[in-house]
Amino acid sequence: MGRKYFGTDGIRGKVGDEPITAEFMLKLGWAVGRVMTNGDSNKVLIGKDTRISGYMFESALEAGLSAAGVDIHLLGPMPTPAIAYLTRTLHAKAGIVISASHNPFYDNGVKFFSADGTKLDDDIELKIEAELEKPMTTVDSASLGKAERVEDAGGRYIEFCKSTVPSRLNLSGMKIVVDCANGATYHVTPKVFDELGATVISLGTNPDGLNINQDCGSTKPSLLRDAVLKEGADLGIALDGDGDRVIMVDHKGEYVDGDELVYIIASDRLRVNRLQGAVIGTLMSNLGLELALRSKGVDFHRAKVGDRYVMEMLKSTCSSLGGEGSGHIICLDRTTTGDGTVAALQVLAAMQSTSSSLHDLKAGMEKYPQRLVNVTLSKRIDLDQNAVINAAIKDVESQLSDQGRVLLRCSGTEPLVRVMVEGADEKLVSTLAEGLASVVSDAVAEA
């Protein structure tokens, strides 16, 4: 059965366009309540990021769940990984996240966590979609769900984050810049590092419903870099709007992306003999990460792009660490989903335990030049069946020889084809990526 609504990470789109409407969210809440609680009066958590549309969708989902006879616990603005954690520890049947992650404010979406704090299995998503096709009904008035707010949600999550590093970790004497992207972490993540002793300079902590991810956060880390250099900070940490991604900046103002952070965490786990299984990346992970880990005797596997596929491979290989260059890092030995704050804490713990700077720790991995060009899709196109595109790919591969990679993929969250070329020669890589993107653009226009 094909998916009508669910993508690689829940349901997402532009607010006001189907299915991201209040009417749909009302029925979605009802369908989720029917599927995930089996009609029993069990609680479901709802959290959100700071988008203005979150108010509307929170109310609609709440009404739908109540109509299905499900009790609702409202978390307010909370990071996606916090909702995963609280779903598990508060023994809820499910957790609902209202967020479009790193997208602009005019997008929004919904993603879900199961009772154990993990993303939903495909069969559950299909059951929800099947329920959405049925007429909506309402339980008897005496069985309607009730709603209440969880007042200490932020404090619970802060304590959890601190518990993921050794109790001896003391950041006293460190100056850290934290950019919360005017998103869901604005009121929790700076407190985590402050309570561990650091001097914290906060950016992106004044959300107004419209400025989430706007020229800040992990997708626009230049703001963070400038602040680190201006303040003479030891490092900077940039999160995205819902807090499941992290990019860092070292004291020299150099970016440290998700691949490099995975390398640092893996190396530290290996040093103390606590690296479980292989390290999981994706098809987009930098070749330098693979080579650096293999030089240490660590197996590296590539999953399809998307945290759900990284998670699947982590479980199938009995591994505990994986991530993406975008900064979505999963430490399964610490939590059940990608968590930018927890990942940053693991890096800080590695710095302290080895008495090394962030700049020194990332030096063990040499990144290959990688150029990513996004081509806007006006219509869907089968990349594998397009002869012109395939011929262009073969030509690029022949020019790279065995010193690089080519990858084309359709985004799971945006109408884009991502064209990636990677190799040892930066100038050649850039030229080849631009040329291939032009071929793809022309092929889309002619399709």
Structure tokens that stand for 38 in this block: 């089996």
Which of 101, 114, 320, 326 is an active site residue? 101
- 93 sits in which H/E element: none
Q: Looking at this protein, which amino acid is placed at residue 37?
A: T
Q: Count CA atoms closer than 13 A to 187's CA, side-chain side.
A: 14
Phi and psi angles of residue 45, each rounded to the nearest 5 degrees, phi first: -90, 145
Q: How far apart are CA 196 and CA 126, in angstroms?
A: 43
Per the CB < 8 A criterion, the answer to whether 68 and 96 are in contact is: no
User: Could you give the count of Cα atoms lying within 13 Å of 337 in the half-sphere of its Cβ?
Assistant: 28
Query: Phi/psi zone of residue 405: left (φ > 0), alpha (ψ -120 to 50 degrees), beta?
Result: beta
Q: Which residue pairs, CB below 8 angstroms and at least 24 apart, start in 346-350? A: 346/164, 346/165, 346/265, 346/268, 347/248, 347/261, 347/264, 347/265, 348/165, 348/169, 348/171, 348/174, 349/165, 349/166, 349/169, 349/268, 350/264, 350/265, 350/267, 350/268
Written as one letter, the residue type at 211 is N
Does 378 participate in catalysis according to the annotation? no
- CA 302, distance to chain mean position in Å, is 17
The residues annotated as belonging to the active site are 101
